[in-house]
Structures are given as structure tokens and as C-alpha cells.
Amino acid sequence: MTTALSLFLSGLLLAPAVNGQAYDAGNRGEDAFEYVQPLNTTILGPYGHSEAVYPSPNTTGNGWEEALEKAKAFVAQLTIEEKADMVTGQPGPCVGNIVAIPRLGFNGLCLQDGPLSIRVADYASVFSAGVSAAATWDRDILYERGYLMGKEFKGKGAHVALSPVAGPLGRSAYSGRNWEGFSPDPYLTGVSMELTITGHQDAGVQATAKHWILNEQEIQRNPVFDPNGTATDITSQAISANVDDRTVHELYMWPFANAVKAKAASFMCSYQRINGSYGCQNSKSLNGLLKTELGFEGYVMSDWGATHTGVAAIEAGLDMDMPGGLGAYGQAWTAGSFFGGNVTIAVNNGTLDVTRVDDMILRIMTPYYWLGQDKDFPSVDPSGGDLNTFSPKSTWVREFNLTGERSRDVRENHGETIRKHGAAASVLLKNENKALPLKAPKSIAVFGNDASEDTQGFLNQKDFEYGTLVAGGGSGTGRLTYLVTPLEAIKARASKDGALVQQWLNNTLIATSNMTDLWNPTPPEVCLVFLKTWAEEAADRQHLDVDWNGNDVVESVAKYCNNTIVVTHSSGINTLPWADHPNVTAILAAHYPGQESGNSLVDVLYGDVNPSARLPYTIALNGTDYNAPPTTAINTTGEYDWQSWFEEKLEIDYRYFDAHNISVRYEFGFGLSYTTFELADFAAEAVASDITSAPEQRPVQPGGNPALWETIFNATATISNTGDVAGAAVPQLYVSFPADTTPAGTPPRQLRGFEKVPLAVGESKTVGFELMRRDLSYWDVVSQQWVIPAGDFTLSLGWSSRDLKAFTKITPVQAEMSYPEDYTLLEKSSGASASTPDSSDSTSGGCSIRRVGSHLKTLYLFTKSDVKTVLIPQIIFIVSAVLGRESLTTVDLSTPAEALQRLPLAILWIWLNLIVCGISNQRLPQSVLEDEHNKPWRPIAAKRLTPEQANKLLFTIVPLVMGTSLLLGGFTPTVTMMALLWLYNDLDGSSINIWTRNIINTGGIMCFSAGSLEVISGGMLLPKAWIWIGLTGAAIATTVQALDFPDMEGDKARGRQTIPLIYGEAVSRGGLAVAVVVWSAVCSAFWNLQLMSWAVPLGVGSLMAALTVLRRDEKCDKIVAKLWCLWMSVLYVLPLFVA
């Protein structure tokens, strides 16, 4: 019989087996890539270093062939001393300088910071920061910003812009330089890098992709030098970023591949160590990953002071030492360089092959010629030398010809564009009661020290209490020629309406004052609160709150002003604990917007610009919700002890929150508009045939294997503006990889497409998304190549990472059918077998037992989530009902023993009916998509069987369940439940409205109560039993929203309609609080309990009500959900309290 049952279930439950590689298995050192550095093996283990990658590849000028020939002719004329000069920086007028060689007509190279402005310059624009640019989600703006910045760099005589930034990517929410880059999402950052670089270089300036690679924190990014020693006397080495191979490729290398594809002229290697070896002398990362795998043809410069050896760094792939002199290490600038004269010595004594030096110069000069910088390029603006505090004129050891125009104005009309960019980067996070746009208010109050001018200087500074922030600190900042503050712009705009504008800029005063003392003469119509958050190079953030008591400022103002609008100027993430305050009606995250800050903001506040920005990161509920904090302290003092293990692997930002189903305040990609949008007709089709798992091996081009960059699928959708004002939608495409063929640790969803779609009122447009091979591939650490896994991908289209509206599936590579290990050859074949069903050897019997166990587990998994919410409460209900003093059925059990004897039969009845419910619910396509996200262990989501097999199982098991009900009792409730399931699932009754769905669900619970009570008692139900079942059913129907609160974000992401999402938290929480107290009293009264007995249900109900209303956070909501289950169980046992 065992074998027969096994064979029967096998026909229904065959499913592909998981065969992905165990990405999470093993110790953390085994899959780490590390190259060169033999030190620190006691910490990194036997895999702490890998084979070195030598020699450094020679440039082939791929795509730059004509320029390469010019570079070769140039190099052929150089002396060895001139060659050394070409690869070694010198103190001078720019932040980085390669000296001129007049006899060859070469005027040298000027390298200038930074990613939002020419930092060392006057009469230059300060553009919006990288995080602001990413928040626009606008490809046109990303290119335009890069192009205009490039024009200004060129106008000032800078050959090289030290921009843009993809490192830090944003592993940690606390990193001090996240604002210089774009987003913790590699796809969004990759697009931003490619368009910015293209813009820079279209303007004639070399772009520098930085900081390659894994430069994810500021603390201990550099070694600590012995104050009495030399540049090689180190007491504590820089922190080592220890990362596995797959994570490097899929997360941190990804945007840099876009940079290489865009033909970036240069890369800047980073300060910290990479798995033990310094970033600027790590041959695997430079020679292997960058120059070989990605096909990078340009040059690698060091970050300023990141070179720690000479020949070793050169052989590892470093091409240019910056800033050159040892002044960057605290030594005298005249002390020389790791490169410089040491290059000459090494070549002359045979330690260094001159062909390697030649390649370094070819890599430097080829983009120089490619961009035409040898012809009519502007001279260096002499004012830069006056303003350069890093290497002032007193440190210069070489001559520079600074005869060009001084303090030349390169801004043109860029201010207008910066204003547009700032408005497009301001994310509207909250807008209750259409508080925005402002409707010509006559009385405005402005609060906060971020609203006004800086008190001194041309730069934002960390410790300046007063002054609006438009950039962070360090080498990535900008020198303001002018600044439009929020207060200035608001006053100018308000004057057109004849409005009164009051201002309070002292945060301490605001946070400690009674606001009614400040109104003049009456409360304002709107209160605008301006908050700021500083971040800078060389320091990581200590918290994610706003600075200068900003949270207290908001609470103080909102206490008295019922229309409080908050604006943040921040480096990125702020947790905003006051976001749900009822008097905070709107929130704008304006980031670091650049010099036109106030005008950009006013355009959005007054509705001249409809906000279209979206978050390029996730805002969590609490700072402690983020994983991967910077390593801030160690307990030992060993020279190599600073280690940062990237154990989160691919799970950063929304990938982490989604993988662990953690509620957030505002999800990645979120942002509101003054209008509404809809999407429809979402579909995808292949544009390539015979797609293989691994790409065709082709000669490497910039960016890697060109096959990775080929479009293989197109997705399309129709986007419509359904509101009453024009606006721009931002549809976002996310990809979910097939779970059974992709290695563990793959994020649930990954951004793989977005577009900014301007739409007039009522207008619709068809939008396309191209999916390249790389978009659908993971990095296989065994074969060392990108692989498309077999099976179904889910494409999700929506308005954010958790507001997904449309879904479709694609199958680039068909999955081959595979089987769990416990299926025999007989079951795999279509008739022929190596053994027969009656084989009775021990092996066959063991396999049969294992198969039965596997099938029973599958059936259990259909009901696993119902054990706590249905099975256990129903057991409590029926036992209490039959053991109570009042009879509820026609058979009065005389002893508890009789009830306990029939209890297993009742449990069997409940479980069999739960199996039918589980299969019926979970076989639907939308349910499968939800389960893949929320309950991946369920049988269909886990690929234990297919939806088609689930249908077969359902049709097979329904007669079995109905027959069991005829035999044991509860037949009518079973039939009623089947009808409700048919109405709910097959007739789509669940989508009519929320109350219809709740009524059907409640009817199902009542069927469980009635049927199981019949089975345990062996009799029919009396009228009082039906009334009792009805009361408990009504209690469930009106309080079940308690189970919805913990997963509101997940429900929102999947488009579920729940009471909290439809009616809002205030109504649903208040309704729950009232209902639990009322039903506690009603049910107690129904059983005529003594007042003392009312205390238990009322006590549990009151505690749940209080937590629901007073504590609105994920932790408490989970407690409320558990209390609800306890409360229902308390109601169920009330018959036992009857006197």
C-alpha cells in the first residue's frame, strides 16, 4: 500500500529540483576574491589571497585606434625622465598636475575636482549633487548635467574632471560620501555613470570613474602613519573590504562596467584595501577585473595619497600617481614620490620594464588625443592656483605657464538649468489634503536654520549653524559664486501675492518655545520648516536624523501649526520619525540641489513644476533597520586588524528590506506627484532567438563581452495621466530571477529599467524597456562568466519597488525537467523502468517511505501558515464548546474523555479541509507571485509542484474530503466551504471589494467551526451553537485588520486591498480598538458570565487596542497580530467560564 500511495502521489507532485550553486554555503573566506597581498592570511584564512594577475595588459586602443597612433608617436620622442614626469603628479595650480613638455608642444594635464563643480575655481557653477541627479530618474537630465559640467571644466582649462562617483555605491546608509555618488542600486548608478561620462566627454573633458572599487566607508580608509616616521612607516593599515566574487561582479563592478562601456578616459583607484591588498596595487582588481575582463583602455590614477609602493603598484596596473609628491602623506613636497625619479631608477636597473611605462603613457595620452585636447584647448585659469589650498604656490617645485585669462566666467546660463535640475530632484514624500502646491497663501511662517544664507564664505561648512545646504564637504564640494536661499526665494514669490512672511531661524529657540508666542498677529496659513543634514569626505555619519535638533523643531512647530510642510536638504537618508504626525501635511526631500536651491524649491512648492523625483534609496523606519554599518572600531591594535566583512553580500538597501520583508517608511523608487497615473497593457517579448544560458565568447570590447550588452527582450506598457495637471510618470521595471535555478542569496527583485515619461492631462504613451543579456544574468563563480538561469523570470512594473501594478513572465532559457533525489527511475520514465512496483528490497522500501514523507510534507506546506490562525484556534473553539456547561449540539458528551477520543477525527477533518483551501488559493497566478515574495516555502512558489499539478491534486482530493465528511460528519459545512472557495477564487469574488472578501473569509471560518464541532460531538448543532458561531465570525470580520498592519508595505507592493490601505491607518486602527472592546463585552454577555470573568477578554482586548492606537511601528504591529490570535482564543474558551 505504501508503494501504491507513493506512485499515486508521484504523478501529481513531480517538480523540478533546486540545482543552483550554494552561494551562501561555506565559510566567508572561501568565495572571497583576493589577489596579491600575502599579509593577513591568519584573518582571511587559506583563501585570503589568490593568484596574481600579471602582466598588466597593454592598451589596444579599442575604439581609439587613430588616437593611439598619435600617442605612440608622442611616446617615441620621450626621454626616460620625461616618461617619469608623464606618470607622476606634481603640486601646481590644479588639484592634480602633469607637467608640460614644451619641446613636444605638450602643455601638460590639469586634473580638477569634482563630481558637482570645479571645486578650485571662481565664477563656476555649483550643480546638484550626484544623489540629486539620481533622484530625478531622468536620463536627459543626467546627460545634460554631465555635459554642462564638462563645458565649465574645459572653459577653466581642466583636461580631466574627477567625476563621476560610483564608489561608494551606498552599501551603508551612513557612508559620508554617498551624496557624491548616485544610488545604492547598481542599475540606476550604472545608467547615471554612463550618461554623466558621455556628457563630460562630449564636452571635450576626460571623465574619471571613481573610486574603483569597494570604497564604501570613510573611517580608517587610509593607514595611520607613524608621526615620527616616513611615508612607509605605518602603525595601522587601512581597512580591508573583504568581499566575495559574485557580490563584486553583480553589485560593485556593475556601474563601473557602464563607465567602461561609455569609454571613460580614466579610473581612480581607491584608498582602502581589497581583501587585504591596497586598492591601488591590487593586480586582480586592476589588471584582472578592470583592464582584462571589462576591457578598459584608459588609465588608472591613484586617489590622492593612495599609492603605497612604486614598482609593485605599477606592475599591478596603476598608471598615474596622484598627487605625486609625498606631501599627501604628511611629508615635505620636496621629498619626492613613489613614482617620479624612482621610475627612472627602476627602468635603468632593470627592475621595471620600460614597455610597461610606455603603456602607462599610451593609456594617458590616447584619450587626450581622442578628445582633441591637443588642439586649441583653453589654458589653465590662473585663479585656480590662487585658490588651491591643497598644494599652494609655496609647495610648487616645477614651473607652470599661467598666462591665460584670470577668473574667467564659464557659467553662461547654466543657472536656469541647475534650477530645473533641482526641482526635478525634489522628492514629494507626503502630501495630505493636497497641502501642495501652495494656493497663494497670505500668511507664511518660515522655520529652521537651513532656510537662510551662510554667515560667511563661499562653501558650505560642517559647523555653520546658519545657512542652507546645497552640497556636502570634502573634495566633492563646490565653491559658490552666488546662492539663492529658500527664504530669499519664498519672499520673492510671496510678494507677488501680497503675503506676509515671518521667519524664525534659531533651531534652539524654535524647539524650546511655545509657538503661539511667535505668531504675528495670527497663526500662519502654512508653516515651512527647513532641515539640513551634513555629510563629508573622511568621516561617516553618526546617525540618520536631521542635524541641529531638527526633529524637535518639527515637533514644536507641528504642535501648534496644522499645516506644517517640511523640507530637508540632506546627503540622502533621514529616518523622519515625525512623518506620520497629523499636522505634518507635506514632506519634500530636496537633497543637495546646487546654487539655485531656493528657486528650485519655490517652483515645486507653488506648482510651477509638478514634482516627479523618486527616491534613489530606501528610507527605513529606524536607523537600526539598515544592515551593513561602517566598521567604526576594533578591539585590537594589530597593524592589519581593521577588517570589513561584506557578509550581507547582495542584500543592501531595498534588496535587503525585500529579502527579509521588513517594513519601511518610504521605499526605493517612491515619490508623489500632483497628478495621478495608470499603466496598462504590460507585455514582454523576445527579440533574440536561440538564447543560450552562457553568452557567446567574443573579443572583449569596452564594457566586457559585447554579447552581454545585446538586447534580448523588450517590455512595453501604456502609461496614462489620469489626473488634472500635466506631470511626468516614472515607471520602473523590476526583475525576479527563477528561484530554483539561481544561486541562493539572489535578491527578490532587482531594478532593470526605468523611464521619465512627461504626460499632458489625459495623454497616454507607450513606453519600452530593453532588457540586455546582462540584465537577466548572474555571475557564476564556478565557470567565471555571466549566466542566464533556466526557468521563468517575473517582470514587475510599477511606481516603486513596492508599488508594483503589473506582472508578466518570460523564459529566456527553458528549464530541463529534473527530479528530487527520492524519485525512482520508474517515475522518471514513461513506462520503462529499472525496477518494478513490487520490488521489496530494503532500498526500494526506503525510497517509498521517503517519497510518502515528501508528499505529506508538500500537503503540510499548503496548510503551514494556517496552523496558528485556523487549526489551533478551531481546536480551542470545539474543545471549549463541548466541555462547557451548556450543550451546543444534540449529543451531550458525558465526560471529557469522550471528547478527547473524537478530537483526532476533528483535527483530521479540519486539516483535510485546510488542504483544499490552501491548494485552491495558492494555485492562482497572482497568489504564486505573492508567495514567491512573501512565502517562498509554499509548494508552488518553492517549485515542489506546478500550478497545473496543483489543479490535478485539487480535483483529486476534493472527493476524498467530501467522502470523509460524509463518514465523520460536517458534510454540509464542507460543501458550503467548497462553494465559497469557488466564489472566492474561480469567480474572482475576492476582487469585488474588501468587505465581500472579508464576508467570504468569515463564512469559511464559520464553516470550520460548525463542521469540526459536528465531528467532535457526533451530533447536530443547536440554535445557540449557530448564534455563538455567528458572533465569533462577526468578531473576526470586524477585527481581522489586526493581521494586516505588520505587512502593509508588502501588501501595498503587491497591490492588495486591505482595510488599512483603503481606509487609512487612523480609521482602521481606531475601528479595531473599538471593535475588540465591544466584542469582548458582547461575547461575555452572551454567556451570562460574572463581571469578574469579563476581565480576561476585556484585558487582552484593551491591551491590543492601546498598542494599536498608541504605538504605530512594525514591532508593535507584530505583537498586535499575536495578541489578536490570543484574543480570539480567549473568546473561544468563554463557554468554560459559564457558572
- Residue 702 preceded by cis peptide, ω within 30: no
909-937: average pLDDT = 79
**262 in any annotated domain:** yes
Instruction: Specify whether 984 is located in the same domain as 1122.
Output: no
Q: Check whether residue 225 and residue 371 sit in a common domain.
A: yes
Give mean pLDDT, residues 263-271.
Answer: 98
Within this chain, do residues 992 and 1103 fall inside the same structural domain, yes or no? no
Cα(205)–Cα(200) distance, rounded to whole angstroms?
Answer: 6
Q: Are residues 464 and 358 in the same domain?
A: no
| CATH number of the domain residue 741 falls in | 2.60.40.10
Residue 999 lies in a domain: yes
Q: Answer with the one of 332, 355, 390 that is the final residue of a domain.
A: 390
Instruction: Give the Cα separation of 365 and 846 in Å (integer).
Output: 72
The enclosing domain of 607 has a CATH number of: 3.40.50.1700
For residue 21, being part of any structural domain is answered with no
> Could you tell me if 377 and 427 lie in one domain?
no
Going by C-alpha positions, the residue among 1036, 1035, 1040 that lies closest to residue 1060 is 1040
Regarding predicted confidence, which is higher, 939 or 471? 471
Cell output for 296: 578598459
**Structure confidence by residue, pLDDT tens digits, 1040-1073:** 878 877 766 655 545 566 777 777 777 888 888 8
Please list the residues that pair with 714 across neighbouring strands. Answer: 685, 770
Q: How far apart are alpha carbons 1111 and 1041 in whole angstroms?
A: 16
Q: Take residue 1125 and report the three cell numbers written for it.
A: 490570535
156 within 8 A of 381, measured Cβ to Cβ: yes
**In the predicted model, is pLDDT for residue 829 greater than 60?**
no
Q: Which amino acid is at 54?
A: Y
Angle at 116 between CA 112 and CA 117, to 5 degrees: 50
Strand 266-269 relative to strand 750-754, pairing = unpaired
Instruction: Give pLDDT tens digits for 399-450.
Output: 888 888 999 999 999 999 999 999 999 999 999 999 999 999 999 999 999 9
SS (H, E, C) 486-522: HHHHHHHHHHCCCCEEEEECCHHHHHHCCHHHCCCCC
Q: Closest by alpha carbon to 69, among 78, 57, 59, 79?
A: 59
Task: Tell me the β-bridge partners of 112.
Answer: 161
pLDDT reading at 863 higher than 80: yes
Please check whether residue 734 lies inside any domain of the structure. Answer: yes
Sign of CA dihedral 298, 299, 300, 301: negative
The C-alpha cell at 181 is 555618488
Q: Is 384 helix (H, G, I), strand (E, B) or coil?
A: helix
Find out whether 732 and 799 touch, Cβ atoms under 8 Å. Answer: yes
**What is the percent of the chain with per-residue pLDDT over 90, rounded to a whole number?**
58
**Region 249-273 average pLDDT:** 98
Are residues 425 and 460 part of one domain?
yes
989 and 933 co-located in one domain: yes
User: How far is it between the farthest Cα atoms of the chain?
Assistant: 114
- Per-residue pLDDT tens for 663-691? 999 999 999 999 999 999 999 999 999 99
- Residues ≥6 apart with Cβ < 8 Å to 732: 137, 614, 669, 751, 753, 754, 797, 798, 799, 800, 801
Whole-angstrom distance, CA of residue 260 vs CA of residue 246: 19
Same-domain check for residues 556 and 495 = yes
Total number of domains in the chain? 5
Does residue 12 register a pLDDT over 50? no
Contact call for residues 35 and 277 (beta carbons, < 8 A): yes
Question: Is residue 527 within 8 Å of 445, Cβ to Cβ?
Answer: yes
Which are the contacts of 510, defined by CB distance < 8 A and separation ≥ 6? 447, 448, 504, 553, 556, 557
Which residue's entry shows cell 519664498? 490
Whether residue 835 lies inside any domain: the answer is no
Residues 115 and 253 both lie in one domain: yes
Query: What is the distance between the alpha carbons of residues 1139 and 1135, in angstroms, rounded to a whole number?
Result: 9
Query: 46 by DSSP, 3-state: which?
Result: coil
State the cell numbers at 224: 595611520
| Mean pLDDT of the 375-389 span | 91
Angle between helices 354-370 and 341-348 in degrees, nearest 10: 130
Question: Which one of 390, 425, 442 terminates a domain?
Answer: 390
SS3 category, 33: coil
| pLDDT confidence of residue 1000 | 82
Residue 31 reports pLDDT greater than 60: no
Q: Give, rounded to a whole angstrom, the gap between the first and last alpha carbons of the chain.
A: 51
Q: Which cell goes with 764? A: 497616454
CATH (domain of 877): 1.10.357
Q: Which amino acid is at 397?
A: V
Task: Measure the CA–CA gap between 98 and 101, rounded to whole angstroms.
Answer: 9
Q: Report the pLDDT value the prediction gives residue 870, as an integer from 0 to 100.
A: 85
* 58 phi, psi to nearest 5 deg: -80, 145
Q: For every residue of 420-440, which 3-state class applies, written as one string?
A: HHHHHCCEEEEEHHHCCCCCC
- pLDDT for 843 equals 43
Q: 1031 to each of 387, 865, 1009, 1038, 1084, how far by Cα in Å?
A: 80, 24, 12, 11, 11
| Cβ neighbours around 1121 below 10 Å, total | 17
Q: Which helix (H) or strand (E) holds 890?
A: none
The reply to whether 358 falls in a domain is yes
Which whole number is the average pLDDT over 1114-1137?
83
- Residue 536, classed as helix, strand or coil, is strand
Of 810, 826, 850, the last residue of a domain is 810
Closest listed residue to residue 799, CA positions, set 668, 675, 929: 668
Q: Is 445 helix (H, G, I), strand (E, B) or coil?
A: strand
In a domain, 295, yes or no: yes
**Shared domain check, 192 and 114:** yes
pLDDT at position 41: 38
Run of H or E including 333: none
**Is the Cβ–Cβ distance between 265 and 207 less than 8 Å?**
yes
Query: pLDDT tens-digit profile of 47-59?
Result: 334 568 999 999 9
Q: Is residue 802 part of a domain?
A: yes
Query: If residue 753 lies in a helix (H) or strand (E), which one and from where to where?
Result: strand 750-754
Top-confidence residue, 525 or 36: 525
759 backbone dihedrals φ, ψ, rounded to 5°: -140, 130
Q: Which amino acid is at 700?
A: V
Residue 1 has pLDDT above 60, yes or no: no
Q: Between vectors from CA 65 to CA 60 and to CA 67, what angle results, nearest 5°? A: 110
Same domain, 155 and 304: yes
In degrees, to the nearest 5, what angle opens at C-alpha 254 toward C-alphas 253 and 259? 90
Count, residues in the chain: 1139
Q: What is the DSSP letter of 630?
A: P
Same structural domain, 452 and 539: yes
pLDDT classification of 1015: cutoffs 50, 70, 90: confident
What is the band of 84 on the pLDDT scale with cuts at 50, 70, 90?
A: very high
Give the pLDDT score at 877. 84
- The CA distance from 5 to 9, in Å, is 6
Residues noted as catalytic: 303
Average pLDDT over residues 769-776: 98
CA angle 703, 195, 408 (to 5 degrees): 125
Specify the residue for cell string 564640494.
477
State the residue range of the domain holding 712: 675-810
pLDDT given at position 895? 65
